[in-house]
Every structure is written in C-alpha cells, then in structure tokens.
Amino acid sequence: MGIENKNIGVVGSGSFGTAMVKMLLENAATVNWCVRDETLKNHIKQEKRNPNYLSSVAFDVERLNLTTSIDQLVHQSDIIIFVVPSIYLLETLKPLTISLENKIIITAIKGLIPQSCEIIGDYFMKEYGVAEENIGVIAGPCHAEEIALERLSYITLAFKNGENLNRCRRYLKSDFVRVTPSDDIYGTEHSAVLKNVYAISAGIANGLNYGDNFIAVLLSNAIREMEEYLKIISPIDRNINNSVYLGDLLVTGYSYFSRNRMFGNMIGKGYTVKSALMEMNMVPEGYYATEGIFKISEENGLNLPILETVHKILYQEKNPRKQFKKLTKKID
C-alpha cells in the first residue's frame, strides 16, 4: 500500500514528538498529532509552533490535524508513533476505547513501563493485542534539537515485518534524516533504554570532574555491559558496534543536548535526585529506567558494575564520589 494510502499519527508533544512531526511533514500530506491539552493545541494552531519544545520549528498547520483525544487520533491513524515519557504512557492510554489490534504501532519511547519493567513494544503486544509484526521501534543516534536545525541525523527503524518497515521508512527519511533498517526490535528497544542509564553515568563522571580520558573508558565498558545484557535478553547475532547500539550510546553520553547526561551531571555536582528532577523541564528516562533495568539484570545474574553504581547513587542514596572511586577499580 502506498504512502498516500496510510494515515499517520503522533502521540506526544515533547521535544522528540515535535521533531517527529517535523520529520513526517517532509513526506506525509497530513499528520495527525495528539497533544497534551487544548491550550497547547490552540497555541500551535495560532502561532504555528510548539511553545514548550523546539519553538524554532514552524509548522504548516493546514497539514496538521491536532487533537487532545487519544481516541480521535487512533481512529484517524493507521500508523501511530508513541513519543511520550514512559512514566506517562499508561495515563495517556487510559482514555482509549478503540482497539489497536489492526494498527501499526511504533514506539520512540526510550524507557520501561515502571509497574512491570517491560519494554513498550512488549506492553502493546500483551495488553492491546498488537501483533509482533505490527510493532516498530525508532532509535538513534539522534537528538531532537539537531533535527529541528536540519542537521544531518540518523535514526534506526526496526520491524520484524519487512513490508511494514519499508512502508514506514518512507515517511521518515528526508534530505536531513537517514533511516537505517533493522529487524532487531528487542535489541533496538532495550539498547535505547540502556544507553540512557549509561549516559547518566557519563554525566555523573563529568559532574565529579573526571576528564575525557576516564569518560572514554567508562563508555567503552558501558558498551560491553550493554552487549552482555542484550545477549541474555535477546540472544541473536548482532554487531554491538552498529550505530543503533554504540552510536546511540556515544551521542547520549557525550552530547550537551542529552537530558540524561545533564541529569547525571547535576547529580555529580551535588544535587539530590529530587532537586535535579525538579529543576529539569524534560524527563530523564534513564532515571526511571535504572530501577527496572537493575531488576532485570539481577534476575538474570548479570554482573554490570556501571549499572550497579548508577543504581546505588540514584536509588540507594550512596555518595557519588565514593561510588565512582570504587567503580574505577572495576573497569579498564
């Protein structure tokens, strides 16, 4: 079925949700967009911009079908991209009364369902009856801010079903966005969650005044931890050095656009978790994911020193400087 015969929608109006709409408007005649509230919807209609995120991006509002109703969005869309923080997904879906079984669901959420420690794709399959072949995953390496600036960016789109992959890929690629295809939906989604946790570790190190030399060693150890984790969770043949794994880790660990690195930097500088979360106007998915990833790691008997260190600092209120001093003896 051609691109003109599928209606596409986005749920979420944060930075990446806004960037996603910008990407889709490069190809789609219209984009359905479910935003947080009527005030935001009316502002976008009138001012042609999202006042809260990526406000430099101007939209052709004649090609936007804005709504605050998840039911309306689902009813009007064949392909639905979810780009809301994982901690708000259940609340977002609560008003939904329409079946998702015949929809193509793409998750661009880089977190876990907090209550069950599930990746988002698994949750949609289990709770909403979405077929595995209709589950897609969008991952990086890619920052919303660079998409807004139309700097050349790379995203990975993963589907088990090749037809769905090719159909959805056509919506996303443009002069400034390259789309890499993958069939590793589980590894892609888990690694997108993991890299946020490790980006927090890089931020903490920076906040503690560790230098680039140490952070390079830290992230080289982090990719090995990710590989060990993915081998247990989804044991298929994959190249951990591909951009969706290593590249996404590096951009999230090093970039000043990274909210998870920023959050970690604040922790390293002495902020409490609560004060850091209050000061940020964006959700650092890695904080919420750390608890779930740590539980999964423990259940599978994995020895992941960096993950354990971040968990101790964030959830056991251990001193960051003391914990990183111990960590330096465990990595090389």
Binding-site annotation: residue ranges for substrate: 110, 259-260
Geometric angle at alpha carbon 45, from 39 and 46, rounded to 5°: 90
Query: Which has the closest alpha carbon to 84: 43, 55, 46, 113?
Result: 113
Tell me if 7 sits within 8 A of 77, measured CB to CB: yes
Selecting among 22, 103, 195, 312, the annotated active-site residue is 195
Question: Residue 195 catalytic?
Answer: yes
For residue 261, the SS3 value is helix
The length of the chain in residues reads 332
Which residues, listed in sequence order, are joined to residue 10 by a DSSP beta bridge?
A: 33, 81
Residue ranges for the known binding site are 12-17, 110, 144, 259-260
Tokens 């690694």, residue located? 191
94, two tokens: 């609560």
Handedness of CA 195, 196, 202, 204 (dihedral sign): negative
d(CA 75, CA 213) in angstroms, rounded, equals 52
Q: What are the angstrom distances between the C-alpha of 28 and each of 32, 46, 97, 105, 305? A: 10, 21, 26, 17, 45
**Terminus-to-terminus CA distance in the chain, angstroms?**
51
Strands 112-113 and 118-119: antiparallel
d(CA 179, CA 169) in angstroms, rounded, equals 7
Residue ranges for the known binding site for NAD(+) are 12-17, 144, 259
Tell me if 241 sits within 8 A of 248, measured CB to CB: no
CB-based contacts of 299, cutoff 8 Å, min separation 6: none
d(CA 117, CA 114) in angstroms, rounded, equals 5
Q: How many whole angstroms from its chain centre is CA 29?
A: 26
Give the catalytic positions in this structure: 195
